[in-house]
Chain A
Amino acid sequence: MKFKIDKSKKLSHINPEIYGHFSEHLGRCIYNGIYVGENSLIPNTNGMRNDVVEALKEIKIPVLRWPGGCFADEYHWKDGIGEKSKRKKMINTHWGGVVEDNSFGTHEFFELCEQLGCEPYVAGNLGSGTVQELAEWVEYMTFDGVSPMADLRKKNGREKPWKLKYLGIGNENWGCGGNMRPEYYADEYRRYQTYCRNFSGNELYKVACGPNADDYNWTDTLLSIVKNWHTRAISLHYYTVPTGDWSHKGSATSFDDNEYYNTIKSTLFMEEIIKNHVKIMDKHDPENKIGLIVDEWGCWYDVEEGTNPGFLYQQNSMRDAIVSAINLNIFNNHSDRVVMANLAQVVNVLQSVILTDGENMVKTPTYYVFKMFLPHQNSDLVEVECNEEKYVSEKHIPKISKSASVDSEGKVCVTISNCSLDESEKIEIDVGNVKSVCAKIINANNVTDFNEFGEDEKVTLKDYVAEIVDGKIFVEIPPCSVVSLEII
């Protein structure tokens, strides 16, 4: 294959937020995964696990969505403020009496974001809350001066308001967030957002609940009612399910070649649905003022054997690395509309970048893809002209996924994945004057390989080789691998 890249032809800006994450009060994502409390023997700073915070800082996590998910539309923020021993304790009797003691609330979330150096993205409760409750939360978080909510915040130990940019108003309101029709949600959204005010120089970037997967009617109806003066973006949720059967989704680490390719096919559907939703957005918003935020995406498998089905804990293999590379390349290539994406979820739930078990932690193959793709954050997308499309033999699945960007100093980053399990691909890349190239690779002996607690990492980021001949780059992409090239 031959790629031609003209780095002077910048197509769109790649927001760092495309590399965002999502944390929910679900399973062991927040409690034990991120937050262990100040008195834990696990090393922590104000209750946040030091190992997890360090690992997330290493991949420059740009934004973190919280508190859900489905949980957001049941969350009442006043339960999670004030003296911890007095906070409301709730027992989830479904699947084994898990206690939500609200010890992680608004103050703790902002503390976490400060430690991580990332933007907070708060998902507000529209499904079971009230306009007043959400309006007061915004006031509590952002009002500087004398007001009932600002005074309450000060009483709880925080004098200055926080900066809050991203505010989601409802979550999956087509499903767990109230089973609403798009017409009804759109009107409710307009009402709720009216009272979410910009206080004290803080400017909210409001996000409306967009469609589930390929529900194009939701997008069309929503955007015929909600306009760019009501919202800055709409969300989209799409999960990759290998078998397509929600009752038997398949194992995270035990699967055959056929199930692997079905996973790839399922994940490639992301591009089709983004294109189709963008067409509808272009119709309603031709000036491109409303962004698309894919704020839940990733692989969804059956839970690990013997773990609570409600905790959604799954391992993460080389297959997940290929899936995440394909999706991140898709988001880069549609960064004119896709302004943010949030992998579900950051720790211990679904396709996580980090897994914990007691005091131990592993970085998953997906983690290393986020690390590899770091140079794309805040760069500009450039076009990759390709001389031919190649397919995995007899599968009609595109073999190669790619995207390229140029940073403010002119350095080009190209990320390429090869989803074929047995065929490598030689690629010649013409970027113009090349002085040097630095290559990295993520691959494994088997596509089912994963990083296990207490063992050496089987899937990690390694140095790789690319050659420069007559000013062009020549690189071989091995079967089932992800390769990056940083070119000067």
Chain B
Amino acid sequence: MKIKCKKCLLAELDKDEYIENLIKYIENFPSDKKADKITYENRLEICKQCDNLTDGMCSLCGCFVELRAIKKNMYCPDVPKKW
């Protein structure tokens, strides 16, 4: 029997499938909780310029930035906040 631990569980994850699910989640995010299009795009522009962004993820909060930015009430986790 193979004994599972934190590392092997992660290695077994399908990264492409996970990203695909995230994209679907963003597309179907409830409109009343969604940031408007301009705010969303502005936020992502700021993220793109930030050193904390790697492979679509913010290293300060561990969030994929597209998902964090789509939420109306969300904020940049940096101090001071960039958006």
Contact = CB atoms under 8 A, between A and B. Distances in A.
Contact of B61 (A247, A309, A358): A358
A97 interface: yes
Contacts of B62: 27-28, 307-308, 311, 313, 348
B8 A176 contact: yes
A281 B60 CA distance: 44
A469 interface: no
B13 A41 contact: no
Q: Which residue, of B5, B15, B75, has the highest number of chain A Cβ atoms within 10 A?
A: B5
A77 B22 CA distance: 37
Interface residues of B, number: 34
Contact of A42 (B11, B13, B54, B79): B79
Interface in B6-54: 6-13, 15, 18, 22, 25, 54
Question: Interface residues of A toward B: which range?
Answer: 35 or more
A310 B10 contact: yes
Interface string A290-308: 0000000000000001111
Contact of B54 (A40, A97, A175): A97
A96 interface: yes
Given A42-B79, A309-B13, A312-B6, A357 B56 contact: no
Given A97-B54, A306-B63, A70 B7 contact: yes
Contacts of A41: 79-80
Interface in B50-71: 54-57, 59-64, 67-68
A98 interface: yes
B9 to A, nearest CB: 6
Contacts of A70: 5-7
Contact of A94 (B3, B5, B10, B79): B10
A26 B10 CA distance: 12
A98 B62 CA distance: 9
Majority DSSP secondary structure for residues of A touching B: loop
A70 B10 CA distance: 12
A246 interface: yes
A212 interface: yes
B5 A305 contact: no
A333 B62 CA distance: 38
Contacts of A32: 60-61
Interface string A1-38: 00000000000000000000000001110001000000
A359 interface: yes
A27 B57 CA distance: 12
Interface string A318-359: 000000000000000000000000000000100000000111
A98 B55 CA distance: 9
B9 A358 contact: no
B56 A96 contact: yes
Q: Which residue, of B7, B10, B59, has the highest number of chain A Cβ atoms within 10 A?
A: B7
Contacts of B75: 358
Contacts of B22: 306
B67 to A, nearest CB: 3
A386 to B, nearest CB: 37
A261 interface: no
Contacts of A246: 4, 9
A223 to B, nearest CB: 19
Contacts of B8: 175-176
Given A96-B56, A358-B79, A176 B7 contact: yes
A359 B75 CA distance: 11
Given A96-B54, A358-B75, A358-B79, A69 B3 contact: no
A287 B37 CA distance: 69
Given A32-B60, A247-B12, A312-B6, 15 more contacts: A26-B6, A28-B61, A32-B61, A41-B80, A175-B3, A175-B5, A175-B7, A212-B3, A306-B22, A310-B10, A348-B62, A357-B61, A357-B77, A358-B60, A358-B61
28 contacts: A26-B6, A28-B61, A41-B79, A94-B11, A95-B57, A96-B56, A96-B57, A96-B59, A97-B54, A99-B59, A175-B5, A175-B8, A176-B5, A176-B8, A212-B3, A246-B4, A246-B9, A306-B22, A307-B63, A308-B57, A308-B64, A309-B18, A311-B62, A313-B62, A348-B62, A358-B76, A358-B81, A359-B79
Interface of B: 3-13, 15, 18, 22, 25, 54-57, 59-64, 67-68, 75-81
